[in-house]
Amino acid sequence: MGIIRAGNAGRVSGWGSVLLASAWLLGQGSATAQEATASQAGIVKVLQGDVRAERSGKSRPLSTGERLYAGDRVVTAAASSVGFTLRDDTLISLGSNSQFLLEQFAYNDKTDEGSIAVRLSKGTLRYVSGLIGKRSPESQLLSTPTATIGIRGTDFIVEVVGE
């Protein structure tokens, strides 16, 4: 549903949404460099164990200080966790055995306008709203396999136990 709000055609899940999100980003800018700056979404601040980011079929290990981009899927192994801060000050942490997708992130730091769409397919997430949430709470969307969450300036936890 977050994807519908982002201007795309349908609801997809799993790998399909990673590909769709990247295609959407490529459609936005003419140059790859432009895409990179436009979609840089956040920075890893806290990390323990084995945490990887997957994007456009490529997987890379994450470490503190590493950048995250819109379209990145973040996967944590057992006994591993990660915390990252998005450019609008939104804070997100993931517990072990989690699968998370940063479906969409857009932010204008002059006006604090923007939108966030994230998805937790498995595991545990904590979410603390930032400046986008402060300005327009309805521009944030979090989805799980069976639910979406309307966020109103908030700090909360979501746990997806399993299929």
Partner 1 sequence: MNKAWMSCAMMALVALLAGCAGPKERFVLLPQADGSASSIVVKTASGETALTSPYAAVETRGGKPEPTQTLSAAEVERRYAEVMRSLPARPRSYDLLFELGTDRLTPASQELLKKAIAEIKEFPAGEFILTGHADAIGNDASNDALSLRRARLIERELQRAEVKALSIEVIGKGARDPRVPQKRGVAEPRNRFVEIKIR
The site map against partner 1 for 44-83 (x = CB under 8 A) is xxxxx---------------xx---------------xxx
Return the range that interacts with partner 1 (CB under 8 A); candidates 2-10, 29-37, 43-51, 52-60. Answer: 43-51
Q: Give the Cα separation of 30 and 40 in Å (integer).
A: 16
- Crossing angle of helices 32-39/15-28, nearest 10°? 120
**142, exposed or middle or buried, with CB in 10 Å at 0-12, 13-18, 19+?**
buried
Residues of this chain, 93-152, that bind partner 1 according to CB under 8 A:
93-96, 124-126, 128, 130, 144-152
Amino acid at 78: A
Following CA atoms 90, 3, 39, 27 in sequence, which dihedral angle do they give, to the nearest 10 degrees? -170
Among 24, 69, 84, 105, binds partner 1 (CB under 8 A): 84
Q: Is 58 exposed, middle or buried (0-12, 13-18, 19+ CB in 10 A)?
A: exposed
Select the span of 7-15, 18-26, 33-41, 84-92 touching partner 1 (CB under 8 A). 84-92
**Stretch 2-41 residues interacting with partner 1 (CB under 8 A):** none
* Binding stretches for partner 1 (CB under 8 A): 43-48, 64-65, 81-85, 87, 89, 91, 93-96, 124-126, 128, 130, 144-163
